[in-house]
Amino acid sequence: MKNLILIALLTSSVAFSQVPKLELTPKGIEPVIVNANMIPASNIYAKTIEWIEANYDNPDDMIVANLENKELSLKVIEPKVWVSNRIGTDNNYDMEYTLKIEFKDGRYKISYNLGNFEKNGTRLTTTYKDLFKKFDGSVKYNYDGAVSGIEEKLNEKTTSLYNHIMGIDNGEDW
């Protein structure tokens, strides 16, 4: 019986320590709440500031809202969210988005508000909504790589932030 309880506790702690996976839909990306194992909001905030400074060039220019220990918002242009090859030429697509992080004791909430795309440095009128069919919401032909590229980049960012907050070593410092 003791072993069963121990296994249940270990399984539940591992399950709750995972970062929810983000999925792009025609409505955008739903916000996610991440469990931070009872770390105070002030510590989560401080670790987030460290992460921003380590992962973005000119972070002060990107921060659009900063309510200490409560909320941070960044305006970001993410390079190369996907590459398409049309007529033998690679086109890099970057994407602008606003990343909003809200802090509470033991958890934080991440919201991505996706904006326009850029192609080879030129801003387009195209947004993530243009990747989906209007009637059934499925991904348009030739845009599977765009949707998976966006999801991959944003999930990498979200996991990187979680690892930094939790002090998880990614094995790169040797």
Model confidence at 142, pLDDT cuts 50, 70, 90, reads confident
Closest CA relative to residue 128, chosen from 113, 111, 106, 107: 113
- Give me the residue spans of the domains in the chain: 2-166
pLDDT at 172 over 70: no
Q: What is the pLDDT of residue 170?
A: 64
Q: Does domain 2-166 correspond to CATH entry 3.30.530.80? A: yes
The answer to whether residues 44 and 165 touch, using CB atoms and an 8 Å cutoff, is yes
pLDDT in tens, 2-25: 554 444 444 444 444 479 999 999
pLDDT at 161 over 60: yes
H-helix segments, 17-143: 41-55, 59-62
Burial 114-137 (b: 16+ CB within 10 A, else e): bbbbbeeeeeeeeebeebbeeeee
* Region of poorest pLDDT, from 61-65, 94-98, 104-108, 133-137: 133-137
